[in-house]
């Protein structure tokens, strides 16, 4: 028996061609987390939902579970495309990275609760011109828990102190205060500003943020620290992240060349 499901809110994550005329579209849904849908006729010219399933689009969708157990998107309403993300290569790269990270962090077909609002807010901020690296960093800090890494950002893991100078230790899975730095010679040796941002990002509700500004040096340190933690503790290396790294290499080259 075929049945129409409840309408849901969704963000288009990625899509690929399927059969001669169709597409498989992965949508981050507010009710079932990431889910794959079949869109019939999506590859045809003048397809009526063409705009609704473009990358970086969000809105309300109606799906239909067919007797062959496939979920079809049958209608869309009030969809909006994040146009600036689509047009700007840096914004595009970071938004793609966020969605790939989210795809890895959550199992298909499971409710993701408040995460949906947080991820949608991240894309809105990037689309509104906020620094895409910083927005991505906020989610990277917060998503660590989804990969089983739960750093203690509140206080020193040894003594519970939270006022002293802090550093991050991978071995201890959290902060070490200056009195306990001797416990881990491989602590990340981060500066106080970078540590403060990491601690701040851990609980930041992006739905309450209108702008974020972080200076270049701290941004570089955040990038380094999160790459290190994701590399060592999560073991994740995403294609979209490699693209971002290459892009920043090109930017550096270009700067040198212009000087």
List interacting residues with Zn ion (CB under 5 A). Answer: 156, 158-159, 161, 177, 179-180
Euclidean distance between the first and final Cα of the chain, in Å?
A: 67
Q: At its nearest, how many Å lie between Zn ion and the CB of residue 190? A: 16
Structure tokens of 259? Answer: 């000087």
Q: What is the distance between the alpha carbons of residues 226 and 107, in angstroms, rounded to a whole number?
A: 23
Shortest distance in whole angstroms from residue 164 CB to Zn ion: 7
User: What is the smallest separation between the CB atom of 163 and Zn ion, expressed in angstroms?
Assistant: 10
> Do the beta carbons of residue 58 and residue 9 sit within 8 Å?
yes
- Strand 33-39 and strand 22-29: the pairing is antiparallel
Of 140 and 167, which CB lies nearer to Zn ion in the complex structure? Answer: 167
**Shortest-Cβ-distance residue relative to Zn ion:** 156
Residue nearer to Zn ion on the CB measure, 161 or 233: 161
Distance from C-alpha of 55 to C-alpha of 19, rounded to nearest angstrom = 20
- Work out how close the CB of 151 gets to Zn ion at its nearest, in angstroms, rounded to a whole number: 15
171 vs 217, beta carbon nearer Zn ion: 171
Angle at alpha carbon of residue 137, lines to 136 and 141, rounded to 5°: 120
Which residue, 182 or 215, is less far from Zn ion as judged by CB? Answer: 182
Interatomic CA distance for residues 54 and 126, integer angstroms: 17
């Amino acid at each position: 028996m075929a049945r129409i499901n409840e309408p849901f809110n969704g963000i288009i994550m990625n899509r690929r061609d399927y059969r001669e005329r169709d597409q498989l579209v992965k949508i981050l849904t507010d009710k079932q987390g990431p889910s794959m849908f079949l869109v019939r006729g999506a590859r045809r010219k003048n397809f009526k939902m063409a705009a609704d399933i473009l990358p970086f689009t969000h809105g309300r969708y109606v799906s239909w579970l067919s007797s062959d157990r496939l979920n079809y998107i049958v209608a869309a309403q009030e969809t909006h495309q994040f146009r600036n993300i689509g047009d700007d290569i840096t914004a595009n790269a970071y938004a793609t990275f966020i969605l790939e990270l989210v795809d890895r962090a959550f199992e298909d077909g499971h409710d993701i609760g408040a995460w949906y609002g947080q991820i949608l807010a991240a894309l809105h901020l990037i689309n509104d011109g906020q620094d895409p690296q910083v927005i991505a960093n906020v989610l990277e800090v917060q998503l660590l828990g989804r990969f089983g890494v739960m750093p203690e950002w509140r206080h020193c893991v040894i003594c519970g102190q939270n006022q002293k100078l802090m550093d991050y230790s991978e071995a201890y899975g959290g902060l070490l205060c200056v009195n306990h730095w001797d416990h881990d010679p491989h602590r990340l040796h981060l500066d106080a500003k970078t540590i403060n941002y990491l601690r701040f990002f851990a609980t930041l509700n992006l739905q309450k943020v209108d702008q974020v500004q972080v200076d270049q040096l701290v941004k570089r340190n955040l990038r380094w620290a999160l790459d290190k933690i994701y590399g060592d503790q999560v073991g994740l290396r995403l294609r979209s992240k490699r693209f971002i790294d290459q892009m920043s290499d090109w930017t550096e080259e270009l700067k040198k060349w212009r000087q």
